[in-house]
């Protein structure tokens, strides 16, 4: 976005309006004493330097101080410019309006009215974004949190079930090795009946737990993926542009 320049204010020797006098131009500001004029001139120079360095917040404060001691209407335009550069569309719009109210026949009125139209669009975009992001009880934001919680619980449950299944698998393997060791030199089926039964039970339990754990993990992952694909943006940024405003959204996971 290209930066629009400030309107220069003549502060040498006494207050001078930046545009030619017209019938509907406000009366000139009374001449200030030299000391106050010098202070106003210094503040204006400082604010202009801050603006050129893109230190818009500091420039706003300095322009305000200058306007307090020297209420030149063009300072209001410069304040609008600084607020516009910060993306503060509402304050920018307010200062542009104040400027035109003070100087209805301003030479740059067409430019200011274009800025006002841009700021109007920008303010509306902010309001629409705020309305979308406001989360009332029972809104999609609450459903988003519910999906995340359910997904994490399902993943955790699946992990626990799978871990217990591993324990049963190890127990079944251990009993199988005991049977092999016991029957290395021959054995009767009655001698290993209890070990064999216990081993088979552990193996069945492991398979059941693996199935349940896998299903829970798949369900949890599915819920989190669905949430990620269908969730509303958490952060919406509206930036004024020459044609109105641009809106960008971001998500966090």
Give backbone dihedrals phi and psi of 174, rounded to 5 degrees, phi first. -65, -45
**Do the domain assignments include residue 24?**
no
In a domain, 100, yes or no: yes
Q: Is residue 21 part of a domain?
A: no
Query: Which tokens sit at 144?
Result: 């988003």
Q: Kindly give, in sequence order, each residue whose CB lies less than 8 Å from that of residue 16, ignoring residues fewer than 6 positions away.
A: 10, 28
- What pLDDT does 181 receive? 75
> How far is residue 7 from each of residues 2, 49, 240, measured CA to CA in Å?
16, 13, 20
Quick check: pTM over 0.85? no
Asked if residue 124 and residue 62 are part of one domain, the reply reads yes
Same domain, 127 and 41: yes
Residue 109 sits in the same domain as residue 188: no
Domain coverage including residue 114: 34-133
The CATH number given to whatever domain includes residue 49 is 1.25.40.10
Q: Which of 151, 171, 164 is nearest to 212 (CA)?
A: 164
Q: How confident is the prediction along the chain (253 residues), in pLDDT tens digits per residue?
A: 444 566 655 443 333 333 333 334 454 555 778 898 899 999 999 999 999 999 999 999 999 999 999 999 999 999 999 999 999 999 999 999 999 999 999 999 999 999 999 999 999 998 998 888 765 555 555 667 787 888 889 889 989 988 998 888 888 888 788 777 777 766 766 667 777 788 788 888 988 888 898 898 999 888 888 877 776 555 555 555 555 555 555 545 5
User: Does 16 reside within a domain?
Assistant: no
HSE, side-chain direction, 13 A CA sphere, residue 133: 15
Q: Are residues 122 and 164 in the same domain?
A: no
Of 133, 164, 180, the domain-final residue:
133
Per the structure, the count of domains in the chain is 2
**Together in a domain, 119 and 86:** yes
Helical (H) or strand (E) element with 249 = strand 244-250
Residue 119 lies inside a defined structural domain of this protein: yes
Cβ contact 161:213 at 8 Å: yes
Dist. CA 141–CA 136, nearest whole Å: 8
Domain membership flag for residue 4: no
Whole-number pLDDT of residue 175: 75
CA distance 123 to 133: 15
């Amino acid at each position: 976005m290209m930066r629009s320049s400030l309107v220069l204010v003549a502060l040498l020797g006494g207050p001078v309006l930046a545009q030619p006098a017209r019938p509907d131009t406000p009366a000139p500001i009374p001449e200030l004493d030299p000391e106050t004029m010098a202070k106003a001139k210094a503040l204006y120079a400082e604010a202009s330097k801050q603006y050129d360095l893109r230190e818009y917040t500091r420039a706003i404060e300095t322009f305000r101080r200058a306007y307090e001691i020297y209420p030149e209407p063009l300072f209001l335009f410069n304040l609008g410019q600084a607020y516009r550069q910060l993306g503060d569309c509402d304050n920018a719009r307010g200062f542009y309006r104040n400027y035109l109210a003070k100087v209805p026949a301003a030479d740059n009125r067409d430019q200011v009215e274009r800025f006002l139209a841009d700021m109007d669009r920008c303010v509306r975009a902010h309001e629409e974004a705020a309305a979308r992001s406001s989360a009332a009880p029972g809104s999609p934001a609450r459903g988003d949190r519910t999906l995340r919680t359910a997904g994490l619980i399902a993943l955790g449950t699946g992990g626990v079930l799978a871990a217990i299944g591993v324990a049963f698998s190890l127990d079944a393997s251990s009993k199988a090795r005991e049977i092999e060791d016991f029957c290395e030199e021959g054995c009767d089926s009655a001698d290993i009946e209890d070990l064999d039964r216990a081993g088979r039970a552990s193996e069945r339990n492991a398979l059941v737990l693996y199935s349940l754990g896998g299903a829970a993990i798949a369900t949890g992952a599915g819920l989190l993926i669905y949430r990620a694909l269908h969730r509303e943006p958490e952060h919406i940024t509206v930036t004024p542009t020459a044609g109105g405003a641009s809106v960008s959204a971001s998500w966090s996971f």
